Amino acid sequence: MVSSDVFQGPLGHLRAHQFSGLLPGPRLIVLGGVHGNEVCGPIAIRRLLGELERGERVVSRGLLTLVPVANPMAAARGTRQGERNLNRRLVPSAHPQDYEDHVANVLCPWLAAHDVLLDLHSFHTAGRPFAMIGPLDNAGPLEPFAHADAETRLAMHLGPTRLVEGWLESYARGVAQRRARDPSLGFETGPAYGVGTTEYMRSQGGYGITLECGQHQDPEAPEVAYRAIGQALALLGLTGDTLMPPAPGFRLLTLADVTDRLHPDDRFARDWSSFDPVASGDPIGTRHDGTVVRAPADGHVVFPNPRAEPGQEWFYFARPGYRAQIPTKSN
């Protein structure tokens, strides 16, 4: 019997380039283009690919898999997504409903077959590069994890000195608030909807980092991505790249709360950039009914989106974080 999926499924393919060292070692997968309008990853990966193909670099240990474009439909359109955000609810699906479900069915087994993921992204508004890292080691229900030390060490070697933790927890709190406002909401209000590439990687026993390499059009962003791949290769010992020491000072932020935009007239108090510091009580925005939304404590505004759809994430609030491994600096 031939499933009708065969005829109704999307056209196209995912392409991976794989280099296997002749000595055993860690298995690293590098993704670009999970969001189709973010070109730094594809540019950096293709640059590295050229070097590997010309023999200018050699993978002598372990396994390196390069996926320059993880979402071909979105990349062909130059948009963030094809039919939905690939970096949400990233799980295999027995009954794929949309393009990204089909992509996930190929991509998830690839991720599960590796130990480490480096996922290269860029962002909309101006700002400095940063890395998103996972939780500390824990056996809790939301995101159990056992590789925090290795993941943190990788983050410290990738280049950018801003680290953000707490994504899935703050997302889960946010969707709980959303569901409390409207119990009729569907799957988009479950914590599983917050699972992207790195969360899926951790669920499969690996670890991974989302590296936000700069603004979408910033010519430095592909350089940030390229250097980060080289340092990941060096740290994991896959190539003979020289491992550089971590930068002397990091800033670690813990995502604490997410605030949804509720009405088209909800407005920010000013044009926030990600990581702008705020003091407790500072106005962040004003609701359409005049209610002022204030900073709940001293901290930072993160991922502000002045054009968020009502009911979607408007901004995150983050507090300074602490990990013994990370040499932090104050402002």
Distance CA 37, CA 50 (A): 22
Distance CA 98, CA 83 (A): 6
Least gap, CB of 189 to Zn ion (angstroms): 22
Least gap, CB of 38 to Zn ion (angstroms): 5
Comparing every residue's Cβ against Zn ion, the nearest one is 121
User: In sequence order, what are the beta bridge partners of 315?
Assistant: 259
Least gap, CB of 79 to Zn ion (angstroms): 12
Using the minimum distance from each CB to Zn ion, give the nearer residue, 38 or 100: 38
- List the interface residues with Zn ion, window 230-269 (CB under 5 A): none
Residue type, 120: L
Q: What is the CA radius of gyration of the chain?
A: 20
How many residues make contact with Zn ion (CB under 5 A)?
A: 3
| Phi, psi dihedral angles at 213 (to 5 degrees) | -90, -5
Q: Are 129 and 219 spatial neighbours (Cβ–Cβ below 8 Å)?
A: no
Using the minimum distance from each CB to Zn ion, give the nearer residue, 225 or 235: 225
- List the interface residues with Zn ion, window 147-206 (CB under 5 A): none
Least gap, CB of 66 to Zn ion (angstroms): 18
- List the interface residues with Zn ion, window 12-51 (CB under 5 A): 35, 38
Distance CA 277, CA 275 (A): 6
Binding mask 115-154 for Zn ion (x = CB under 5 A): ------x---------------------------------
Least gap, CB of 209 to Zn ion (angstroms): 13
Residue 301, Ramachandran bin (φ over 0: left; ψ between -120 and 50: alpha; else beta): beta
Using the minimum distance from each CB to Zn ion, give the nearer residue, 124 or 173: 124
Using the minimum distance from each CB to Zn ion, give the nearer residue, 89 or 121: 121
Using the minimum distance from each CB to Zn ion, give the nearer residue, 121 or 202: 121
Instruction: Report helix angle 221-236 to 40-53, nearest 10.
Output: 50
Distance CA 90, CA 107 (A): 9
Using the minimum distance from each CB to Zn ion, give the nearer residue, 217 or 291: 217
Least gap, CB of 310 to Zn ion (angstroms): 22
Chain centroid, CA 15 distance in Å: 20
Which tokens sit at 265? 């007239």
**Would you tell me which residues interact with Zn ion (CB under 5 A)?**
35, 38, 121
